[in-house]
Chains A and B, each alone.
Chain A
Amino acid sequence: MATVETRNLTKVFKHGQPGAVNNVNLETREGEFLVFLGPSGSGKTTLLRMIAGLEEPTSGEVLIGGRVINDLPPRERRIAMVFQSYALYPHLSVYQNIAFPLKAQKVNRELHKQKVDWAASLLGIRALLDRKPRELSGGERQRVALARAIVREPSVFLLDEPLSNLDAKLRASAREELELFQKRVGTTTIYVTHDQVEAMAMGDRVVVLHQGIVRQIGTPQEVYDEPEDTFVATFLGSPPMNLVEAEDTIVGFRPESLLPAEVLVHSSRSEQAEQVRREHQLGTNQGNIIPLRFRIDNLEYLGSERILYGVLIGTRFAEKEVCARIPSRLGAEIQVNSVHDFVVPESALKFFDRASEKRTAPRAFLWQ
């Protein structure tokens, strides 16, 4: 068991070009599941590969268990890594694949079978031990890769988009399994993904990366509810946060905070409305809401909820494109090309500095 720390870690691939990873400082906690989240090209895989020792940092330090390990080759870092492609050894059977790290680490030969059995049964692949990787499905390969990673009980797990090669249904179940599995073995884990759902669902904390720079580190709730800048605000959440720009301020509100005005009408008997009202703490006090007129141009029905795309009408943000996400049973009369009264609770507004795009304290904001 160990923690991973990076100090001013930087990687520049071509001299004179912007770095793939720039001055990254972060520290995992003991046994934590830390997720690197970012769009492609954000440097998350490069960062992981530097921790693994597969990429040499241009500058900065990598520490595992409090010790600088920049000069150690990957095999001496006591890490295990699962690659996006799984990188199983195609000429070896599943058993030999899982036993390979034991052989490489010169673990006592008598223990091999016992350890392979332990890893294989933990992942439910004992029936596959004699097969070759090409005879396995995607999900099975992923398990073999995991078994190979855990078999020698590393101090840190590094996972590079291990679910991206699975189909959507399998991905959801594999995600849950992986999460439970990590909790059980309790090994510090760093997980790279571009999928925000994976990041939110699995991570104890999420590191949001963009252009090689750490934008925010926090729990899923923190990065979602309290984004530190406009990149984090718009990268997380689907659809992304609505942003409207004024003189020196950008104001953002999540699509689920843009609600039909009907939820305020207390006489409405709708249970759904009552529930939404409670969730957003909309009391009788009309002062804490902002009324907006919203023309719906497009509408997506997603079963339990609907996504409304359109523009604001009136105010000084007229024609500004925004979207709303509302429960399906709410606002039955809302259709494409109609204009409706919507509200945003003032408490849901996030304020950003327009120049730096960083989060600022709430301030007075004129909507008219």
Chain B
Amino acid sequence: MAISNRKLGAAMFLPAIVYVLAVIGLPFVLAFIYSVGDVKIASVGYHFVGLDNFRSVLQSPSFRRSLYDSIVFTVATQLVVLVGSTILSIALKDKFRGRGIVRFLILLPWVAPVSLGAIGWKWILDSIYSVINWLLVAIHLVRPFDTPMWLGEPTLAMISVVAVESWRLLPFSTVILLAGLTAIPRDIPEAAAVDGADFWRTLFQITIPMMLPIVNVAILFGVIFTFTDMTVVYILTRGGPYDSTQVLPSLAFFTGILGGDLAEGAAISIFLVPILIAVAYLMLRVAHRTEVA
């Protein structure tokens, strides 16, 4: 019996399509439906309420605060990751003794489960048991009983979540940049050396500009990962203190799941969609351009 190639192809594709529809499509559609209804946890029935939920969300100070925090969190993380991974990738490009081990160690945060890493950091930043504070006291930089509350003060808490998120994303970005760096032909930095450029000029005028397309890819991936991530915030600060580290995904979770207001939670997550679509579009364009060049 001959099955036409078309049918066979469609059949082969089916599992993937079913998977995407069930795991991504269905919740996505549900979120849309919930965001324009009055669904609460354990409520029966559904009433269409139009854009009421969005109106209410927009008026809530928590939401505005979270939107602002999300942007600060994402931009700050990307800045740290970008500078860090550029330095790391350049340091790791050339061979040296133990490079394999260093590369492995740097990759670790990425392969370790995020919750595990975040819990580790929660202890490192703990108000009483913090090893950082212990060290600061030991070297007489701060006085005992007057140590910084890493997760308890608004600015410090934001710095802490940014630091941990950066720690987590650094390996991924480093690997991407390393790939981009290795793709630069050896001749080019050599030509720059012969032309009279020192290390810094070669770095800023030749190496980094030539890495830009791949840096874009790293940034866009990083933005999506950071903007949609709530694990680090949830484990470290639960959005506190006073919502100062609350990001949109964690706010949606607290409102919709823990707070029981599914409709408003859905409305908050829907706000992520246009931003993520714009980023995804840019990402695809940049990836395409990189491929062509």
Interface residues of A (CB under 8 A from B): 52-54, 73-75, 77, 79-81, 83-85, 87-91, 100-101, 103-105, 134, 148, 152, 158
User: Is the Cβ of A74 less than 8 Å from the Cβ of B194?
Assistant: yes
Known: A83-B187, A85-B185. A75 touches B196 (CB 8 A): yes
Residue B201 is within 8 A (CB to CB) of chain A in the complex: yes
User: Is the Cβ of B194 less than 8 Å from the Cβ of A79?
Assistant: yes
The 8 Å CB contact of A152, one of B192, B196, B206, B212, is B196
User: Is the Cβ of B190 less than 8 Å from the Cβ of A54?
Assistant: yes
Per CB-CB distance, the 7 closest pairs between chain A and chain B, nearest first, are: A87-B187, A104-B196, A87-B191, A101-B195, A104-B197, A75-B196, A74-B193
Distance in Å from the Cβ of B93 to the closest Cβ of chain A? Answer: 17
User: Is the Cβ of A75 less than 8 Å from the Cβ of B195?
Assistant: yes
Residue B108 is within 8 A (CB to CB) of chain A in the complex: no
Interface residue count on the B side (C-beta < 8 Å): 19
User: Is the Cβ of B185 less than 8 Å from the Cβ of A87?
Assistant: yes
User: Is the Cβ of B194 less than 8 Å from the Cβ of A89?
Assistant: no
The 8 Å CB contact of B187, one of A85, A91, A105, A158, is A85
Q: Which residues of B contact A77 (CB under 8 A)?
A: 194
- Inter-chain CA distance A258–B126, complex, in Å, is 94
Distance in Å from the Cβ of B146 to the closest Cβ of chain A? Answer: 51
Residue B209 is within 8 A (CB to CB) of chain A in the complex: yes
Interface centre among A54, A73, A104, by most B CB within 10 Å?
Answer: A104
Nearest-neighbor residue (CB-CB) of A73 within chain B: B193
Distance in Å from the Cβ of B207 to the closest Cβ of chain A? Answer: 10
The 8 Å CB contact of A91, one of B185, B192, B196, B209, is B209
Q: Which residues of A contact B185 (CB under 8 A)?
A: 85, 87
- Inter-chain CA distance A148–B195, complex, in Å, is 8
Known: A85-B185, A90-B210. A75 touches B191 (CB 8 A): no
Residue B102 is within 8 A (CB to CB) of chain A in the complex: no
The 8 Å CB contact of B194, one of A52, A91, A103, is A52
List 30 A–B pairs whose Cβ atoms lie within 8 Å, in order of A's numbering.
A52-B194, A53-B193, A53-B194, A54-B190, A74-B193, A75-B198, A79-B194, A80-B194, A80-B195, A81-B190, A81-B194, A83-B190, A85-B185, A85-B187, A87-B185, A89-B188, A89-B192, A89-B206, A90-B188, A91-B209, A91-B210, A91-B212, A100-B192, A100-B197, A101-B196, A103-B205, A104-B192, A104-B195, A104-B201, A105-B196
- Inter-chain CA distance A53–B192, complex, in Å, is 12
- Inter-chain CA distance A297–B197, complex, in Å, is 59
